[in-house]
Amino acid sequence: MLIGLMLVLVLAIGAALRWIFHLSSSQRGAALQVGGLLAPLAVAVMTMLLGQLLGARRRADPPPADTLADLLAQAVRGQWRKEAVQRVLLTPDPISVSWSLSDLLVAGPVEAAVGHPDVAPAFPPLPGQTRVTEEQVRSGGGRGELFAMYAGIASGRVVVVGEPGTGKSGAAVLLLLDALDHRDRVDDKDRVRVPVPVLMTAHGWDPTTYSVQDWLAARLVADYPLFQHRDGPAEAHKLIDAGAVALLLDGLDEMDVAWRSAVLQALSDAPFRVVVLIRSHEMIQAAGAAWLVGALAVQLHYVSGPQAADYLERARTGPPPLGWKQLLTHLKHPDSALTWALSTPLAITLVRDTYQSGDDVSELLDGTRFSTADDIEQHLITRALPAAYTSRPGRPKPRYSQTQAQQALAFLAREMSQDHTRDLAWWRIPQWVPTRPRILASMVAGGLLGLLLGALAYWPMAIVPAAYGDRLSMGLGDFLLRGLAFGLGVGLPLGLAYGRGGREPNRVGNWRAISLRSVLTVGVAYGILLALASRLAGGLLRVLVGDLNVIPHQLVQPMAELVGGLVAGFLLGLMRDPPGGLGDDQGGSQELVKSRRKNRVAGLVAAVTVGLVFGLKLGHKAGLVFGLVVAVTFGLAAGLVFWLTQLVAGFAVGSAHGESSPQGPLESWRNHRVVGLVAGLVFGLGLGLGFGAGNATVTGLKLGFRVGFVAGLVYVIVGWLVLGVVYATTSSVRWSTTLAWLQLQRSHRVPAVDLMSFLEDARHRDILRTVGAVYQFRNATLQDQLAGQTTASPATFSAA
């Protein structure tokens, strides 16, 4: 039915065009005026039909919940297995994990966690596992027993506490992989009862505003392209509400104390299994106000000397350094400073990574030089950068010197510590430097693009009329001046709106996420508002200044372009979204969603108002009907281009990255470049087509159809490309981050290195690691040392 209606509409449009082009010149002009009114309506109807057709197909075959869970499990496994390899957690066998029931006042009684044996548990044991008993809990254990606690605790709540460096994050990754392996081993009929574990950090969650279900659903949509489509948020909520997802939450210790307590309260009501990993001291603070109800609290142990020696022996990948045997023998002395220093996975892996063939590891046995565990630990951390950025046989030559790495990483660590975060999000870097230089840079970029595209716009307006014997009254200089003025006008407000940076990059929804109906509606409002407001402002200035004769006639039009650009840039800045709605509402915070909806309503109201004013303004010259026709034409065309922008960018990003893989920092950075380029070009081209149709109709009636229509259409298309390219450039988070990094280089706060190349290189050298779309230092102690701070060591806690 829908396809038939679309075919009829296409045939009708084709017949109408054929009829118009066979009319005489006078008849054709009248027909074009009528067609200008009907064409947008026809396009709108076709768009709605296409949207209904695609929407119906999307709704016809929703994937079942078990299929979604299986796909999510594949994505999670790929993400964290790659990270486990990077952290050397799989081969060789990792450092032994050992734990016992915590005696800290951080949770309720054990009986509340295991439940009464005669009462049905809130969370039945997973298929293939048994319900955990109090005896098992009090016996403690290792890696396998920790998974048994996760899989069989009746309350579904586990808190893992430990001192800094005791391997909480590594234990979380191993627990996640063990849970996924168990899920793969059970029968197909039982797999639906085994949740998919996801490891998240708590940074950015306001538990006083968003429920844990809403927050987790938003994170799933943001991190996994599997849910980045029209029904993705609902599907994520469906899995969460059904308990098909289990949450492993890290980073709670980096939150404010009050928020930690609020998070624990929110997690108490979660309809899914929860594992919280947190440092002991921070958990004691949070538990003073609230507990995770029903939680089992276990504490990770320090690594014993024999365990450390055993791991170091099997972790060797080449000839051992000098003094290796003496080191392993000495680790069997339980009370030495060396044994205490190597009681954490952090210190053990630093020995593994920083002492290579030719080094003398026996220096750690020097009791005069290293009299305490703190001395040894600080020495090992100090060796991390030299070892990572020193040429070694069989390894690629470092791209950056140790001096460059030290300067850049120390700066990043200090800024992160001042922000009280362990997450290095590249889009927050602009907040560390003044905004004014980026505003000026945005203006310069707009002006240069305006000059370029002004020159491009001159040629069709000059060549096409000349081909038909007409002469263009404006010269190349006029076009350059107008392009420069418009580009500067757009760049200034966009620089003010986006120059500060700090906004998380809008997630790029893939092409299946597009709602043609809503995008067309938004496009109509924004399109009419942008075009008519900017044109009206420029037109009023031309009338006022032209009548007063206070400036040279040659500058009137450039001033009008400047004012029009300012208005367009200001309105674009208010939208706070990239062109085409590439950052949709899926997974965004509730506050952000409300803000976007208010902008859309305001845009629609303003569009109608400006459209009426525009029509009345032209009423005495071109007629009220024509003014409104131009407004509607442009608005509908803008709606179509918003859809086209989403479609093209979604395909581009999906093919570049893959629709099933979660995004890391580098993928987020690269995708933002693709989006900016595609969106800017498509956005500007579409706006030019929309507004150019009305402009071409006017010039066609004045100068003759062949001359005016072609010249007017091409001129406006090229002109609006200025707006599209400037907007895509200056509103990009990548643009503001790049400028901010250049500012830091010019002030000599960081070396002259490429930001993302440096961060990725540091990740490959095991200085940084990735968690979702952000980087982290391999350990909080390393960050603190680089930042000039201190982190409590095992010796400090043992003395206490």
Long-range CB contacts for residues 405-410, cutoff 8 Å, separation at least 24: 405/758, 405/762, 405/767, 407/750, 407/751, 408/750, 408/751, 408/753, 408/758, 409/385, 409/762, 409/767, 409/786, 410/786, 410/787, 410/788
- Whether residue 428 is contained in a domain is answered as no
**What is the average pLDDT value for the chain, to the nearest integer?**
75
Q: Phi first, then psi: what are they for 201, rounded to 5°?
A: -100, 150
d(CA 313, CA 311): 5
Q: 3-state SS of 647-668?
A: HHHHHHHHHHHCCCCCCCHHHH
Same domain, 554 and 469: yes
Is the pLDDT reported for residue 249 higher than 60?
yes
Is the pLDDT reported for residue 723 higher than 50?
yes
Domain stop point among 268, 300, 332: 300
Q: Which of 298, 388, 323 is nearest to 349 (CA)?
A: 388
- Whether residue 40 is contained in a domain is answered as no
Burial class (CB in 10 A: 0-12, 13-18, 19+), 164: buried
CB 598 within 8 Å of CB 522: no
End-to-end CA distance of the chain: 78
- Whether residue 388 is contained in a domain is answered as yes
Provide the number of structural domains found in the chain.
3
d(CA 500, CA 739): 10
CB 271 within 8 Å of CB 213: yes
Share of the chain above pLDDT 90, in %: 37
Same domain, 563 and 702: yes
**Tens of pLDDT, residues 48-57:** 555 555 555 5
**Tens of pLDDT, residues 529-562:** 555 555 555 555 555 555 555 566 666 666 666 6
d(CA 66, CA 74): 12
Same domain, 566 and 456: yes
List the helix and strand counts (H, then E) for the chain: 30, 8
CATH code at 104? 3.40.50
Is the pLDDT reported for residue 30 higher than 60?
no
Listed in sequence order, the residues at least 6 apart from 229 whose beta carbon sits closer than 8 Å to its beta carbon are: 58, 509, 510, 512, 513
Q: Which of 693, 708, 718 is nearest to 468 (CA)?
A: 708
Domain stop point among 418, 451, 467: 418
**Tens of pLDDT, residues 306-336:** 999 999 999 887 788 889 999 999 997 767 8
**pTM score:** 0.73
pLDDT value at position 757? 95
CB 237 within 8 Å of CB 288: no
Same domain, 368 and 481: no
Share of the chain above pLDDT 70, in %: 58
CB 219 within 8 Å of CB 247: no
Residue with structure tokens 């995770």?
292
d(CA 289, CA 337): 37
Is the pLDDT reported for residue 577 higher than 90?
no
Query: Based on C-alpha coordinates, what's the Rg of the chain?
Result: 32
d(CA 717, CA 719): 5
pLDDT value at position 703? 47
Which residue type sits at 399? R
Domain ranges, residue 93: 69-300
pLDDT value at position 789? 59
Q: Which of 634, 640, 611 is nearest to 693 (CA)?
A: 634
Same domain, 294 and 309: no
Same domain, 411 and 444: no
Q: Which residues pair with residue 360 across a beta bridge?
A: 322
Same domain, 388 and 474: no
d(CA 657, CA 54): 24
**Tens of pLDDT, residues 451-478:** 776 676 666 555 555 554 555 556 667 7
Token digits for 147?
Answer: 């998974």
- Whether residue 764 is contained in a domain is answered as no
Same domain, 292 and 339: no
Q: Using 50, 70 and 90 to split pLDDT, how confident is the model at 609?
A: very low
Q: Using 50, 70 and 90 to split pLDDT, how confident is the model at 676?
A: low
Q: What would the mean pLDDT of 98-112 be, rounded to a whole number?
A: 93
Q: Using 50, 70 and 90 to split pLDDT, how confident is the model at 627?
A: very low
**Tens of pLDDT, residues 647-674:** 554 544 444 444 456 778 888 887 776 6
Distance of CA 100 to the CA centre of its chain: 38
Same domain, 240 and 364: no
- Please tell me the least confidently modeled range out of 15-19, 417-421, 576-580: 576-580
**Tens of pLDDT, residues 132-147:** 999 999 999 999 999 9
Please confirm whether the linkage preceding 92 is cis (ω < 30° from 0): yes
CB 464 within 8 Å of CB 704: no
- Whether residue 256 is contained in a domain is answered as yes
Domain stop point among 739, 761, 785: 739
Is the pLDDT reported for residue 395 higher than 60?
yes
- Whether residue 24 is contained in a domain is answered as no
The one-character DSSP state at 300 is: E
- Whether residue 280 is contained in a domain is answered as yes
Same domain, 361 and 280: no
Name the percent of the chain in helix, strand, coil, to the closest 5: 65, 5, 30
Highest mean pLDDT among 628-637, 691-700, 736-745: 736-745
Same domain, 679 and 585: yes
**Tens of pLDDT, residues 356-385:** 888 899 999 998 999 999 999 999 999 999
Same domain, 260 and 341: no
**Tens of pLDDT, residues 418-442:** 988 889 999 999 999 998 888 888 7
- Whether residue 49 is contained in a domain is answered as no
Per the rule left: phi > 0, alpha: psi between -120 and 50, beta: everything else, 251 is: left
d(CA 334, CA 311): 16
pLDDT value at position 592? 42
Burial class (CB in 10 A: 0-12, 13-18, 19+), 70: middle
What are the E-state strand segments in 720-787?
A: 768-771, 774-777
Distance of CA 318 to the CA centre of its chain: 40
d(CA 338, CA 112): 40
Residue with structure tokens 């919940």?
65
